[in-house]
A and B are shown apart, each in its own frame.
Chain A
Amino acid sequence: MDTVVEFFSNYGSEMLYKTWEHLYISVIAALLGIVFAVPLGIILTRIPKVAGFVMGVLGVIQTFPSFAILAFFIPLLGVGKTPAIIALFFYSVLPILRNTYTGVNGVQKSLLEAGRGMGMTGWERIRYVEVPLAIPVIMAGIRLSVVYLIGWATLASFIGGGGLGDYIFSGLNLYQPEFIIAGAVPVTVLALLTDLLLGKVENWVTPKGMKKMRQAA
């Protein structure tokens, strides 16, 4: 117990800062991922021939070891937060993209025909029909990807990106278990809290009619 109190008195403020850094890296990467992957997913539903190819390529990228990707960005972008964010961004894309594509593709064709027949433009169909109906699936992708990113963001410390990974790796290198714990526990807590928060967001953005329908079913 004493060691815990002592650790906090020595490193408390630093730990807070590292947690903030960690969150910052993952959230920015995830936001970039959303901004890129959601529109791309919708576009891909319009060009099914290209969609298979794009998904395939991204699937392959996903299997690259994350270490390799991080290392790969050092000669291109140097070290620091930016290359870390960019590397993580690549990982965030696939789950969001795949879910957006599946969600939008899964909207009943009869609804789209009704929309077209009543005189909706392509944009209006996306805005009023496809996106609202695909929201639960898209949100599931976003949740998954953000939680993954918080875990992977520990690796950012390898290329000088900071975050809670710093503690974990110095703990491993210096064989000081308290540092490992001080890094791992906040990462887990952060991941759980974020998932909880995003669950609330999902509930909030899902159209009311769909929620009622699911309850009735």
Chain B
Amino acid sequence: MLKFEHVSKVYKGGKRAVNDLNLEIEKGEFICFIGPSGCGKTTTMKMINRLIEPTEGSIFINGKNIMERDPVQLRREIGYVIQQIGLFPHMTIQENISLVLKLLKWPEAKRRERARELLKLVDLTPDYLEKYPHELSGGQQQRIGVLRALAADQPLILMDEPFGALDPITRDSLQEEFKKLQRKLDKTIVFVTHDMDEAIKLADRIVIMRDGQIVQCDTPDDILRNPANEFVEEFIGKDRLVQARPNIQTVEQIMNPKPVTITPEHSLSEAIQLMKQCRVDSLLVVDEKKVLTGFIDVEMIDQKRKKANLVKDIVETEIFTVEKDTLVRDTVRKILKRGMKYVPVVDHNHHLVGIVTRASLVDIVYDSIWGEVETDEISKIG
């Protein structure tokens, strides 16, 4: 779909921003360019839609050399999302989304319909169409920014650190949403970032660059398992290499399958006893069918003991969970980033099946330091 052949960009004064780059990208692939600032990743991306023109070499999209194409036409066929979002403040959301269609001379009614259709993809209600960008939160704005790039059903989308300016939690949810969207729509994505977590989470292949050259280009798993050299190792970070234990893949494999639970009808004194008995400071609340409804902890009981009697009176239903087939590395990152003590693991129907605690993480670290043999022995002893 997209092919770089000996592409270089030389700026005035002889600085080679990109140096003899060769790369081939398949249709439907999600490619992340990553590297320290000034490594040429953004330059490489911008050469694809000719915002920057290559000095040497050629770039082909579906076999056609982009330098032989009209740049304006070319850009209309490629989606483009930037870090600053760049929604036009004087246009409504509807006008922003369908701007490319307007440039392509679509009739008004069809543009309207298309905007409405796209808005559904990101779970925003149609009343957003008439709002203006400043009335939306940062996360919502960038969702619109992404939709704008999808408007004309462009097969290729370029994204320049699109989630870089968002707060970590919004970024997390947008990444997840976007990955799903990409799979569903089967787009080819070229994504520039300097956030390794983001690249590992999203990319089918990661291109690590330094000084205008590709250092390594592989799937996230291969990069984590076999970093090409010290630079890559350092760039990935030691903690991630630990996480990349090949034998552990999903949360199900590391979770504790017997979390301490209680049903909503129990009294608070029973809850306290249970905590004491099991030496824990919080309990997961499930109903008869083992569906997770929330949690209680010792502080909540302490605060509300005088007013409430039953578990269901004080249960906190805002609870973060992971599904059992989530990758371990994503879960670990979330636990560490959000400073959570534990994460309940649920199946697709929200039935509680286990729990990942910080102790489970310690087990993984032991594993990677002393290897599996010894842990096997320990489990035999146990």
Contact = CB atoms under 8 A, between A and B. Distances in A.
A46 interface: no
Interface residues of B, number: 30
B159 to A, nearest CB: 11
B283 to A, nearest CB: 45
Interface residues of A, number: 24
A119 B51 contact: no
B51 A117 contact: yes
B90 A119 contact: no
Given A128-B99, A129-B88, A209 B133 contact: yes
B88 A113 contact: no
A117 B49 CA distance: 7
Pairs A-B, 9 closest by C-beta atoms = A114-B86, A119-B76, A207-B90, A117-B80, A119-B75, A110-B84, A209-B132, A209-B90, A213-B134
Contacts of B73: 119
A110 B82 contact: yes
Contacts of A208: 90, 132
B132 A213 contact: yes
B86 A113 contact: yes
B148 interface: yes
Contacts of A172: none
Given A114-B80, A117-B75, A118-B100, A210 B51 contact: no
B373 interface: no
B378 interface: no
Contacts, number: 76
B80 to A, nearest CB: 4
Interface in B245-266: none
Contacts of A124: 103
Interface string B91-110: 11000000110010000000
A117 B82 contact: yes
Contact of B51 (A113, A129, A133, A207): A113
A216 B74 CA distance: 38
B92 A209 contact: yes
B72 interface: yes
Contact of B89 (A113, A115, A128, A210): A210
A138 to B, nearest CB: 14
Interface in A164-217: 207-210, 212-213, 216
B134 A110 contact: no
